[in-house]
Structure 1
Amino acid sequence: MSLDSSDIDKIAHLARLAIAPEQRARYATDLTNILDLVAQMDAVDTSGVEPMAHPLHMAQRLRPDVPREPNRRERFQSIAPLTEGGLYLVPKVID
């Protein structure tokens, strides 16, 4: 695919970019090269390739799920204005 300066003007307008007229040819060449690369990648048969969530095969280093602070729910609810059934009650905002 080959882009000309009118295509560059349209793309620049859509992207809200100000491109100097003397740079249009360079942008047209660069974007054409990018689109050609995308076309080459699109032509590759990937029917047997499993999708990946991340390009590197790495496992997450997870820490053990252990509570680090004591449970202070009873204390916090004892000083709250209104509670019921372990929940905080707040004034109704939406009618």
Structure 2
Amino acid sequence: MSISRDKIEQVAWLARIQLEDSEKEALEGKLSDILGMVDQLQAADTDGITPMAHPLDATQRLRPDEVTETNKRERFQAVAPETQDGLYLVPRVVE
């Protein structure tokens, strides 16, 4: 599949990208090659093949869900302008 210069100019205009004529020529060739590869991939027979979430089918190693830091809320809130019941009080911005 090939892409026309008109399509390249249209996409460039939509993306607000200014392209020189030489860049348009280069993009025309490169994008046509990419679309050709996509056509080759679509032609591959995938009947009977189940989709995979990951090509290696590996399980993710997870760390144990444990608290690793001590509670420092009192120290952090000691320097805050206003707090109440463990929460930071800020001026209202929406009425």
**C-alpha offsets along residues 59-85 of structure 1, whole Å, 9 cap, x if unaligned?**
2111123444689xxxxxxx728xxxx
Q: Is the 8 A contact 1:12 1:18 kept in 2?
A: yes
Calculate the TM-score normalised by the size of structure 1. 0.63
User: Which residue in the other structure is 2:85 paired with?
Assistant: 80
The alpha-carbon deviation at position 7 of structure 1 amounts to 1.7
Gaps of 5+ in 2: 72-83, 87-95
Superposition misfits of 4+ residues, deviation over 6 angstroms:
none
1:43-82 aligned within 5 A: 43-68=43-68, 80=85
User: Which residue in the other structure is 1:7 paired with?
Assistant: 7
Distance, in Å, in 1 between the alignment partners of 2:24 and 2:45 is 34
The alpha-carbon deviation at position 51 of structure 1 amounts to 1.2
Calculate the TM-score normalised by the size of structure 2. 0.63
Distance, in Å, in 1 between the alignment partners of 2:29 and 2:53 is 32
Q: From the superposition, tell whether residues 51 and 17 of structure 1 become closer, same or farther in structure 2 (CA, over 3 Å).
A: same
Q: Percent identity?
A: 41
User: Which residue in the other structure is 2:78 paired with?
Assistant: none
Gaps of 5+ in 1: 72-78, 82-95
**C-alpha offsets along residues 26-85 of structure 1, whole Å, 9 cap, x if unaligned?**
1000000001111110111112221122233222111123444689xxxxxxx728xxxx
